[in-house]
Chains A and B, each alone.
Chain A
Amino acid sequence: AQSVSQHNHHVILSEAASLELGCNYSYGGTVNLFWYVQYPGQHLQLLLKYFSGDPLVKGIKGFEAEFIKSKFSFNLRKPSVQWSDTAEYFCAGILTGGGNKLTFGTGTQLKVEL
C-alpha cells in the first residue's frame, strides 16, 4: 500500500533554531503533497502544498518544503522557529492509486522552548 512516513516523532528546539522535519512517501508515480499543522486543541490547518512546478514551495508563517522526487521526500523547513510554532505537524499525500484521499504520516510533535 502507498504510504507517507515521518521519522521524527518528537522534536524539541530552542527559539531561533532552524527546523527540518522529514517526510517520505512510497513511490507510485504522480503525487500531491501537503503539510498540515495542528496547534494544541485545534483542527488541522494547511501550511503548504506541492501540486506541480517549482519543487520548492513556500507556505504560511515562514515555512517552506522541498519536493525531491529522486529521494521520495518532501521535508518541511523553517530557518528560525518561534515558541508559537509549538504544534503537531503532519505530512500527507494523494498518491497514485489512492483515489482522491489524503494519506497521512504519523505526525511530528514539535516543542519550541524559550
Chain B
Amino acid sequence: NAGVTQTPKFRVLKTGQSMTLLCAQDMNHEYMYWYRQDPGMGLRLIHYSVGEGTTAKGEVPDGYNVSRLKKQNFLLGLESAAPSQTSVYFCASSYSNRVRVDGYTFGSGTRLTVV
C-alpha cells in the first residue's frame, strides 16, 4: 500500500516555465489537498478537492491551477513559475467521513526551486 505518492521529488525551474506536480493516492480517499510549506509560515492550503471533478481554492491559490480528473489523482500546475513559488509542496488526502477523526495522510513532498 503506497499511500500518497508525489512526483517529482525535486525540481528546479526557470522563471516563467511551467510544470505539473502529480499526487496519487491508492486509499480511495475522497478528499485531496495541496499545501505549500515555507519557513516560519507552516503549511498553507493552496487548493483542495472534495471529489472527482471538483476543486476549490484554499488560502494561497494565486499562480496555481489544479485538476482532479480521476479520484486517485490530484494535479497541481504552475503556468508561469515565479521565485516566490520556491517552496516545498505537500499533497494530502483523507476520507470524507473520517477527516475529523483521522486527519490527513501526507505525501513525501516536492521541493521546488524557481530561479
| Measured CA separation A51–B48 after assembly (Å) | 22
B58 cross-chain contacts in A, Cβ below 8 A: 101
Given known A90-B42, A104-B42, contact A46–B103 (CB-CB < 8 A): yes
A34 within 8 A of B: yes
Partner of B33 from A32, A43, A101, A106 at Cβ < 8 Å:
A101
A70 within 8 A of B: no
Stretch with Cβ within 8 A of A (4 or more), from B13-21, B60-68, B74-82, B94-102: B94-102
A7 cross-chain contacts in B, Cβ below 8 A: none
**Closest Cβ–Cβ distance, residue A98 to chain B (whole Å):** 10
Contact A90 B107 (CB under 8 A): no
Count of chain A residues near B, Cβ 8 A? 22
Instruction: Give the number of A-B contacts (CB < 8 Å).
Output: 57
A92 cross-chain contacts in B, Cβ below 8 A: 43, 103
Residues of B near any A CB (own CB < 8 A):
31, 33, 35, 40-45, 48, 50, 58, 90, 92, 94, 96, 99-104, 106-109
| Measured CA separation A42–B106 after assembly (Å) | 10
A49 cross-chain contacts in B, Cβ below 8 A: 101-103
| Measured CA separation A94–B96 after assembly (Å) | 13
Partner of A42 from B44, B45, B108 at Cβ < 8 Å:
B108
